[in-house]
A and B are shown apart, each in its own frame.
Chain A
Amino acid sequence: MAGEKGVVLLDLWVSPFGQRVRIALAEKGVDYEYKEQDLMNKSELLLKSNPVYKKIPVLLHDGKSICESLIIVQYIDEVWSNKAPLLPAEPLARANARFWADFIDKKVYECATRLWKLKGEEQEVAKKEFIEIFKLLEGELGDKTFFGGESFGFVDLALVPFVAWFYAYETCAKFSMEEECPKIVAWGKRCMERESVSKTLSDPTKVYEFVLFLKKRFGVE
Chain B
Amino acid sequence: MAAGKGVKLYGMWASPAVRRVEWALKKKGIKYEYIEEDLSNKSFELLQYNPITKQVPVLVHDGKPVMESLVILEYIDEVWKGNPILPKDAYERAKAQFWASFSEDKCRDAVRKVYFAEEEDTKMKAMEHLMEIIRVIDQELKGKKFFGGESIGYLDLVFGWMAFWLGIAEEVASFKVVDSKKFPNFTSWINNFINDPLIRGNLPPRDKTLEFFRNFRKLHLASCK
Contact = CB atoms under 8 A, between A and B. Distances in A.
- Do A and B truly interact? yes
Interface of A: 52, 61, 64, 66-68, 71-72, 74-75, 78-79, 91-92, 94-96, 98-99, 102-103, 136
Contacts of A72: 94
Interface in B96-143: 97-98, 101-102, 106, 136
Contacts of B106: 52
Given A68-B97, A74-B94, 4 more contacts: A52-B106, A66-B95, A78-B90, A95-B75
B91 A75 contact: yes
Given A95-B74, A98-B74, A68 B90 contact: no
Contact of A94 (B52, B78, B93): B78
Contact of A92 (B66, B90, B94): B66
Contacts of B71: 95, 98-99, 102
Contacts of A66: 91, 94-95, 98
Given A102-B68, A102-B71, A64 B78 contact: no
Nearest to B101: A68
Contacts of B78: 91, 94
A98 B53 CA distance: 14
A52 B136 contact: yes
Contact of B66 (A52, A78, A79, A95): A95
Contacts of A136: 52
Contacts of B91: 61, 64, 66, 75
Q: Please name the 6 residue pairs, one residue from A and one from B, whose CB atoms are nearest each other, closest first.
A: A78-B90, A91-B78, A95-B75, A75-B94, A95-B66, A98-B71
